[in-house]
Amino acid sequence: MKHKSGFVSIIGYPNAGKSTLVNALVGEKLSIVNAKVQTTRDRILGIYNSENYQIVFSDTPGIIDPKYKLQKKMMSYVMSSFVDSDLVVYVFDSNSNKNIVGKIKDILLELKVPLLIVINKIDLINQQKVEDIMKSLQSDFLDSDVIPISAKKEFNLEKVLETIKSNLQESPPFYDKTWFTDRSERYLVEEIIRNKILDNFQKEIPYSVNIQVEEFIEDNGLIRIRANIYVLRDSQRAILIGHKGSKLRKIGAQSRVEIEKLFNKKVFLETPIKISKNWRDDEKKLKKFGYQ
């Protein structure tokens, strides 16, 4: 059998389960999975490899109406993911009241590449509702496959993979077959720390934070990491630190455990907090943080 490869863009509204799906298909914890919305900020490539296939998944931010420059860049990553895609996968949240309407429906109907719609979270609804959703989607998107799944329970994902593979062309792999992402070690560390902040804080704090690894040094089986945590103002810095540093120590300890699992090495982690006023709306700061 000849080798097939291709690019697959995963899109949908916030909290539809896009990152959970990509992580399950790739077999690695690549993207942040969190109950809070807008946890994916940029386009992350996850790479599925088997003997005869390589599938390069783009996990994109949830589709929103952007309110500041960071969110505008997030939406540009969604649109740019269509450019080199061989297939677009739309993740429909069956447990949400949001439907495929308006602008996003127009975009999907005008796609120049095949569209696969997966109805996610079917473990949370009854069979009749699943059938009703399938009927509605098949009526709106006549030429598209519609597959009910549970990404969290990993139900029906083999069917998703087989459908994706059927849309790929013969091609050598685009990346080394040992890779599961194109992201750097520093980026993965930054995402781990950001996820722990998402886990431990509510309201505006998680969305005001950015992480940037300043130092990543491996020496005799030990990795020394200094990761700056940027916030918008002093009051947020105080909340992150907590009483006598308790909150920041907790974030550091939880992050270190997960980073050590990722690299299978001992880690020494520093997480100083710095103020970067208005960074979400400042073009220069966004570029510095890697949002192109």
Give, rounded to a whole angstrom, the gap between the first and last alpha carbons of the chain: 39
pTM for this prediction: 0.76
> What pLDDT is attached to residue 84?
79
CA atoms within 13 A on the CB side of 73: 18
**Residue 86 in tokens:** 């061989």
pLDDT of residue 51: 94
What CA–CA distance (Å, rounded) separates 257 from 194?
A: 14
Instruction: State the pLDDT at residue 43.
Output: 64
Stretches in the chain below the pLDDT threshold 70: 29-43, 64, 66, 74, 101
CA–CA dist 273, 231 (Å, integer): 7
Distances, alpha carbon 254 to alpha carbons 7, 26, 36, in Å: 34, 24, 18
47: exposed, middle or buried (Cβ count in 10 Å: 0-12, 13-18, 19+): buried
**Distance (Å, rounded) from C-alpha 46 to C-alpha 141?**
27
* pLDDT at residue 59, rounded to an integer: 82
Q: pLDDT at position 45, please?
A: 80
Q: What is the pLDDT of residue 37?
A: 45
For residues 200 and 141, what is the distance between their CA atoms, to the nearest angstrom? 40
